[in-house]
Structure 1
Amino acid sequence: MEDIQTQASLSQQPESSDQVLCRIESCEGACQILHKNLQTFQGLSTVRNEFN
Structure 2
Amino acid sequence: MIKSATVRRLIISFILASSVAALFTGCTAKTEDDSTIPWSRPASWEGQMPGFGG
Other structure's SS at 2:5 match: helix
User: Matched residue pairs, number?
Assistant: 33
SS at match of 1:19: helix
Give percent identity, aligned residues only.
Answer: 15
Whole-angstrom CA distance in 2 between matches of 1:26 and 1:47: 33
State yes or no: 1:28 paired with 2:15: yes
Structure 2 segments unaligned to the other structure (5+ residues): 34-54
TM-score w.r.t. the length of structure 2 is 0.53
| Counterpart position of 2:3 | 16
What is the RMSD of the two structures over their aligned residues, measured on CA atoms?
1.3
| SS of the residue 2:25 aligns to | helix
TM-score, normalisation: structure 1: 0.55
Separation in structure 2 between the aligned mates of residue 23 and residue 31 of structure 1, nearest angstrom: 12
Name which one, 1 or 2, has greater alpha-carbon Rg. Answer: 2
> Whose relative contact order is higher, 1 or 2, with alpha carbons under 8 Å and at least 6 apart?
2
Query: Offset of 1:47 from its aligned partner?
Result: 2.1
Amino acid at match of 1:47: K
* Bigger helix share: 1
CA distance in 2, matches of 1:27, 1:33: 10
